[in-house]
């Protein structure tokens, strides 16, 4: 049977105290609503429909790969789902309704909810959770036979109902035809004056259609994000979930609580992550590499057997056996080839450092192509910007550059050349030559006494 998913992303989230819509806030670099979209897709949903409202101009780009429906007025969850009636006209299958501010929901749970509804031939399957402190949640009210009879919201609950601890998670799966028939009967006679989607349960029961409940194995999956504190709580929960998966796959973490890994990061076995590591975006780490401590990599590819120590790298490539840091910065376009080194206090931008070449310390390399077996002495700087344009530096294989050297681009250094320490090189240096570009040293004997003596 086909399954569609309606993702409710229209909530204002005023407690976030933010210019951004609630669902645009991020957990480990991914917006809240994208976590729900990916879970629905992972559960096998054939169609995804996202309902947007408040701040939709900022939400729509996040869900551009789904069918977007606008809820013109924020009149409650039933009204939000009803806005999808035209989009799902003629659809005859299961419709999962998901909250766009619940990033911890899993594909397995959504699939189990749809499966339970279909196997029971029910009008509705509702995901429930047992809560020690149920305050604020809708309560699941069962009949004498233990079947779900209705859901009552906190503000509408009697004292007896408020004492119930089985709560509504806000996740459902409906028979599509039964859903839209029932929505036409939902009213707004309640404390909020809103159209509650939860009323569909009682309406379905009154029509003689069965309603089933699926108990969430982990209530944390249903955590909604309505405040900064809850955003931090969800982020911490996702950190644990992702780290546990990597640990089980053969990654070593000295202190998992201090390691943060994004959902799209790939890490091979026998990688060691030291404290203070943050891996985000499409970062990939090859086996036997050691990363950290205090390292942040974003959209960076690291090969096998690398050592990345106290490094920030963004959109960089680090090949097998390369080393980086401590306190190195690889900016977009930086490429350390096999066995290359970027050492202490080194910044590299849009440059290739060839196989086995070294930039050991206190250097800036920008817009440069460096061959194999090159050594750049301490304090080497490629002067790539003339105030208007960027220019390239090309350094051939086996070049040795002395300390405190300025290479003023555009400039090329031939293979095997040696550049004397303290040089300012403004012209090309041919292969095998010694390049010097320093002022002649002058000594004036007795000058100090003559000028400062008594």
Active site (catalytic) residues: 361
CA distances from 46 to 5, 10, 93, 179 (A): 8, 22, 10, 18
Residue 158: Cβ-neighbour burial (10 angstroms; 0-12, 13-18, 19+): exposed
Residue 237 buriedness (CB in 10 A; 0-12 / 13-18 / 19+): middle
Strand partners, 5: 48, 96
Bridge partner list, 366? 349
40 and 7 in contact (C-beta within 8 Å)? Answer: yes
**What are the tokens at 357?**
């070449």
- Rounded distance between C-alpha atoms, residue 86 and residue 114, angstroms: 22
- The secondary structure of the chain in percent helix, strand, coil, rounded to multiples of 5, reads 20, 30, 45
Helical (H) or strand (E) element with 215:
strand 211-215
Secondary element (H or E) of residue 399: none
Contact 281, 260 (CB under 8 A): no
> What end-to-end distance do the CA atoms of the chain give, in Å?
103
Q: Are 90 and 169 in contact (CB under 8 A)?
A: no
Which of 286, 283, 251, 284 is closest to 270 using CA atoms?
251
Instruction: Phi first, then psi: give them for residue 287, nearest 5 degrees.
Output: -65, 155
> Distance between CA 198 and CA 365 in Å, rounded?
61
């Amino acid at each position: 049977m086909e399954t569609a998913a309606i993702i409710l992303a229209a909530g204002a989230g005023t407690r976030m105290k933010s210019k951004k819509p609630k669902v645009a806030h991020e957990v480990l670099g991914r917006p809240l609503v994208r976590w729900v979209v990916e879970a629905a897709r992972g559960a096998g949903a054939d169609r995804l429909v996202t309902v947007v409202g408040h701040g939709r101009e900022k939400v729509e780009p996040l869900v551009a790969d789904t069918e977007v429906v606008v809820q013109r007025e924020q009149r409650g969850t039933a009204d939000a789902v009803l806005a999808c009636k035209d989009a799902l006209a003629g659809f005859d299958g299961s419709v999962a309704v998901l909250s766009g501010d619940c990033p911890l929901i899993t594909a397995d749970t959504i699939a189990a909810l749809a499966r339970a509804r279909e196997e029971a031939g029910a009008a509705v399957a509702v995901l429930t959770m047992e809560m020690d402190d149920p305050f604020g949640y809708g309560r699941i009210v069962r009949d004498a036979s233990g079947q779900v009879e209705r859901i009552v919201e906190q503000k509408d609950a009697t004292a007896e109902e408020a004492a119930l601890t089985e709560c509504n998670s806000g996740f459902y799966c409906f028979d599509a035809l039964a859903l839209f028939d029932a929505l036409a009967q939902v009213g707004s006679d309640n404390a909020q004056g809103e159209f509650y989607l939860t009323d569909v349960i009682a309406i379905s029961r009154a029509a003689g259609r069965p309603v089933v409940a699926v108990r969430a194995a982990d209530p944390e999956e249903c955590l909604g994000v309505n405040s900064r504190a809850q955003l931090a709580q969800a982020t911490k929960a996702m950190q644990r979930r992702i780290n546990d998966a990597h640990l089980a796959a053969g990654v070593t973490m000295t202190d998992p609580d201090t390691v943060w890994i994004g959902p799209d990061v790939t890490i091979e076995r026998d990688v060691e992550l030291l404290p203070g590591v943050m891996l985000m975006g499409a970062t990939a780490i090859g086996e036997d590499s050691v990363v950290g401590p205090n390292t942040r990599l974003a959209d960076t590819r690291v090969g096998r057997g690398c050592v990345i120590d106290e490094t920030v790298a963004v959109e960089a490539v680090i090949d097998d056996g390369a080393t980086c840091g401590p306190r190195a910065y690889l900016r977009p376009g930086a490429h350390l080839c096999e066995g290359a080194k970027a050492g202490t206090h080194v910044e590299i931008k849009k440059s290739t450092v060839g196989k086995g070449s070294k930039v050991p310390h206190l250097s800036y390399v920008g817009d440069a192509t460096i061959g194999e077996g090159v050594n750049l002495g301490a304090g080497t700087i490629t002067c790539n910007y003339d105030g208007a344009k960027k220019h390239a530096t090309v350094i051939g294989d086996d070049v040795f550059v002395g300390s405190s050297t300025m290479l003023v681009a555009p400039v090329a250094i031939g293979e095997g050349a040696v550049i004397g320490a303290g040089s300012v090189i403004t012209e090309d240096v041919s292969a095998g030559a010694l390049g010097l570009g320093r002022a002649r040293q002058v000594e004036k004997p007795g000058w100090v006494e003559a000028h400062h003596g008594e």
